[in-house]
Amino acid sequence: MEEFENNPENKVVISAALAGAATMKNQNEAVPYTAEEFGDEAKRCYDAGAAIVHLHIRDPEKGIPTPDLDLIREALENIKSKAPDVIINLSTAISAVATDRERIKPVQTYKPPLASLNTNSMNFSVGNWDTGEVVLGARNIFANDFGMIQNFAKKFKKAGTKPELEVYDMGGMHNVLFLNKQKGLFEQPLHFQFVFGVLGGQPFSPRALASLLELKPEGATWSVCGVAKQQFQAGISAAAIGGHVRVGLEDNIRMPNGDLAKGSWEQVEWAVKLAEVAGREIAQGEEALRIFNCKNKKISL
């Protein structure tokens, strides 16, 4: 029994994506905008069982995602003052209008333990899945070409930041497998975040997840997230078969019963219960850093 309990494969790392690039307070009032709100929500998520907070920092007045390094620093300082053991995961997507330089600069400046690295260019929109209507971002292209991916990977390595390889479909997975043939481009083992349900990407199904896992390099760690109800579908599947789980208002503003989530922390509580049902234990702090093979233990402020 003791050997089973100490088995890293029996541990679940829960990430909470607090805001994202698109979710606004008019959809759910709990979406953080200010540094204080980010700090308070990060603490609630950590106390609920999350090891990681994934961050798109916002302009506190306009509520839009920002690459402003001073605003990012203010939010990070507030988070670490309230939840010192929470692991920081910075987004390098930031927003649809951020330049490549703006996207990578926070990683170079703050050297977080983790940061997202997107793996392919794609349509990236919001739609009505019942009617087939594109309701937001009909002309939006999320640009992540091979040059950018390689450039970011080199800068991640120099900063000591572990890339969380965000894979939206099979094309992104094959891009990673191809680039991983370059000796030394990525620190090994790799870490993946499988993202399901974005309009322009792969919807969730057990078959889709299985196909990605068949391609996953041996020893690589992986987590899932999903848009709207696919957050729960993907999370249930991952918890049952040894993966890790991301929740949060970036991806879904509701709970499984359809009610608005009181915050990302309430979805974290759901994920903790899910892990318990799956017979797995929650990992936080140093344990979570070891599981994801993070080199940096803290953020540089």
Provide the pLDDT for residue 2: 41
pLDDT class of 7 with cuts at 50, 70, 90: low
Q: Residues 294, 274: contact at Cβ < 8 Å? A: no
Is residue 300 one of the residues assigned to a domain? no
Provide the pLDDT for residue 4: 36
Is residue 147 one of the residues assigned to a domain? yes
Q: What is the CATH number of the domain that holds 231?
A: 3.20.20.70
Is residue 297 one of the residues assigned to a domain? no
Q: Residues 250, 40: contact at Cβ < 8 Å? A: no
pLDDT class of 77 with cuts at 50, 70, 90: very high
pLDDT tens track for 15-43: 999 999 999 999 999 999 999 999 999 99
Mean pLDDT (the chain) is 96
With H, G, I as helix, E, B as strand and everything else as coil, classify residue 128: strand
| Structural domain count of the chain | 1
Interval 127-143 mean pLDDT? 94
Is residue 163 one of the residues assigned to a domain? yes
The answer to whether the Cα torsion of 51, 56, 59, 60 is positive or negative is negative
Q: What's the pTM value of the predicted model, to 2 decimals?
A: 0.96
Token pair in block for residue 280: 């797995």
Provide the pLDDT for residue 196: 98
Give the domain range for residue 89.
2-127+139-291
Is residue 70 one of the residues assigned to a domain? yes
- Cα–Cα distance for residue pair 198/89, rounded to 1 Å: 20
Interval 141-151 mean pLDDT? 97
Is residue 193 one of the residues assigned to a domain? yes
The answer to whether the Cα torsion of 213, 270, 46, 201 is positive or negative is positive
Is residue 301 one of the residues assigned to a domain? no
Provide the pLDDT for residue 249: 98
Interval 115-139 mean pLDDT? 95
pLDDT tens track for 206-227: 999 999 999 999 999 999 999 9
Is residue 298 one of the residues assigned to a domain? no
Provide the pLDDT for residue 281: 97
